[in-house]
Amino acid sequence: MTSKNENISDEELLNRYYQDNDNRWLGILLPRYSLLLFGVCMKYLKNEEDAKDCVQQVYLKVINDLHKFRVRNFKSWLYMVAKNESLMKLRGQKKETLELVEDRTGNQSEVRERELRMDKEERLDRLQKNLEKLKPEQQQCIRYFYMEKKSYAEIVVVTGYTLAQVKSYLQNGKRNLEIMMGANENET
């Protein structure tokens, strides 16, 4: 027996979500992609438990962040979110492993390398926080272009923006990020 909700398209569910901001629509939409999410997470993490945890993180991220974006192709956007979450989890695992090794060795050059990595992590964290302050269109285009390494044409397809809009959002978003990053450095 199929429920009437199974016949509703992804696009219609997204429209309903954007109209009334009711997570019930995400409760119908997300399970459709559970296997896709698990597959993406397994591809990067190579561990079933880590992949399951990552899928849960993706669900939370979607629930908390979807309202910030006007997503046109949910499946592609969801794939990108899963990939990013997996890579962030991998980066966190590598950082923990390196810290354990460094604690055991106590080597001076390794301590300096750790400090440099921590500085880089702080800059990345600041960049992430500043990125979230951008307009959703700029944020989306910057994520696709710089983090997903998508071309202008691919971004046009995924977002539905015109080529001129994509270029403008990228240029303005990059400039705004540089301004915010410079302001943050002056504060420290």
Condensed to tens digits (0 to 9), the pLDDT of residues 19-43 reads 998 999 999 999 999 999 999 999 9
| 4 contact partners, CB below 8 Å, separation of at least 6 | none
The string of DSSP letters for 20-58 reads: H--THHHHHHGGGGHHHHHHHHHHHH--HHHHHHHHHHH
Taking the domains of the chain in order of start, what are their residue ranges?
7-105
Whether the full predicted model's pTM is greater than 0.85, yes or no, is no
Condensed to tens digits (0 to 9), the pLDDT of residues 83-123 reads 988 888 888 776 555 555 555 555 556 666 766 777 777 77
Instruction: Report whether pLDDT(75) > 50.
Output: yes
Instruction: Report whether pLDDT(62) > 70.
Output: yes
Share of the chain above pLDDT 90, in %: 40
Arithmetic mean of pLDDT, 166-177: 92
Q: Topology of domain 7-105, per CATH?
A: Rna Polymerase Sigma Factor; Chain: A (1.10.1740)
